[in-house]
Structure 1
Amino acid sequence: MCMKTIFRTAFYLRSNYVNKDGKVPVMLRIYLNNERLSLGSTGIAILRSQWDSKKERVKGRSTEVLSLNLELDNIQNGLLNIFRRMEFDESLSLERIKMEFLGKKEDIGTIMELFDRHIADVKKQVGVSVSAATWQKYNLCKKHFTVFLKSKYRRTDLKLSELTYVVLHDFDIYLRTTAQHGHQDAENLQDHYNLRGEVGCSPP
């Protein structure tokens, strides 16, 4: 009997950023079974007091609120439709769903291409839904991973298919020792890319 594939979306407010109007970006994350992947900002920003965290929608019945919630509904429905089209495809992954949703058909073949794509996407959002400090952390993570690859594997890049749990574990140890990042810093650096969710690998 085949295991049912479970896909869902989650909207939430960014906890560490407020724009110049005092509003907080509504963020989006998608889940596939036990994996997750952040899609970043939805482009919607609201006052923190307007958010219903249980319903994952904006509170109220005004025309503006209804329009914002309709936009969130459309995002959710669009992702669900993409999942349904790909549900029985052997190559189904969160990254494929993301690429289809964002309209980016070209394949990402290596981890460095993945880093570059994320960094470019985040840079466009600086001052809108992310801070310059966040963008710098993405660059720092790529820098550390580049040095790690050269020192540990004598490589300058990896195919996404080569990014296994063992590699991620070694990178985690590198961050905590050679790069001298504490436990929380190491977790935060990897979480910025959610590398395990990106490539669909998890601990054995």
Structure 2
Amino acid sequence: MTQTFSLLFYIKGKCHNPFVPVPIYMRITVDGKRSEMSTARKIDPEKWDAKAGRMRGNTQEASELNHYLDMIRAKINKIHYQFIESEKPFTARQIKERYLQKDQRFKMLMEVFEEHNRQMKSLVGKEYALGTWKRYNTTFKHTREFLKTEYRRDDIPMMEVDLRFINRFDYFLKFTKECNHNSSLKYINNFKKIIRMGVANDWIQKDPFYNFKAKFKWVDREYLTREELERLINYEVTVPRMGIVKDMFVFCCFTGLAYIDVKKLTPNNIVKHIDGSLWIQSARQKTRSKLGIPLLPTALEIIEKYEDHPKVVNGDCVIPVLSNQRSNAYLKEIADICGITKHLTTHLARHTFATTVTLSNGVPIETVGKLLGHRNLRATQHYAKIVNKKVADDMAALKNVLNLRKPQKETPRPQNRFLSSGE
């Protein structure tokens, strides 16, 4: 069904004094029924062209007013086209309300963020890792604090988020929350997902992240050298709980598993390969990518060591592990005892596997990426850069040694002419 539509600008009210401005109104007509509203502009009646619905003349005042009216006309026409595309009957009042945005409630930023996190939490263990939800929850808290501190508000419409908002939030994270560059950017990327949801659902007209440019800074990832790893393996632990932490760390050094993946590992994940060797078959908790890891002798020894542990016997795990926080506390103590100055954490074992155990021993980078469960090679190349740096450092040290061994040229001693002449 075709509906008639027209738009008219006119001045409303007359004044006895021709120089007293009167308001300009807009009239929307659909199927002969009208709906009117003010344009929030006034004009001297003598300057108004009723037939054209515009201000007469080419002055700056006329250009600015006519441009403003053209913008209103364009918006009304766009709304009219939207109603036509919906193929549903509409009225002049509906067009007016859509223009005034009275027919829709603004989507509020923190409401959308909170709902997103609520849904994510319900999918922890199915589609998301617990750590992922925790990071988004922390981002939510930082955003809420930012709004209260900088805007003195509990929430804002999503459409008010612009590039200036993002830059201020980035500064807030770095200055007020004292986040380093990369940590700040991770929070910003979490926030970006919420904004992109708003763009996809037409709650935001323009993506405020379009002109936001930021890159992660290169950070050297610590790992244990071969000597440090051997020192830790040979350390005899007397405290049982500390021994469990040490064995878990070494196991990760020779499998590349993250802490959470070791914790979730069960005897069912240990399978016999076609060649008779034992492999770990599981999936990374972080990315859900499949893992297939051949068990090296050191890792096998640790598994066999805990075969009679009650938790292993019950099928709950392959090796018993403490909490991540407690493990890291014990690792700090172990590092001090072993004379390791690096900040020892459960995740440093994964870095050690990638560098010292595999890449430094000639394992191809593609294979290392597969063992680590990386979805693309870019993540693995980070470790390759570390190994290349180590090669450069080792070669520089070798050059120094070779220079020391190089025989020095003897400086010819000046002859005494008196002795040489026999005098």
TM-score bin, normalised by smaller chain: 0.3 to 0.5
Greater relative CO, 1 or 2 (CA 8 Å, sep 6+): 1
Larger Rg: 2
Query: Greater strand share, 1 or 2?
Result: 1
User: Taking structure 2 as the reference length, what is the TM-score of the superposition?
Assistant: 0.23
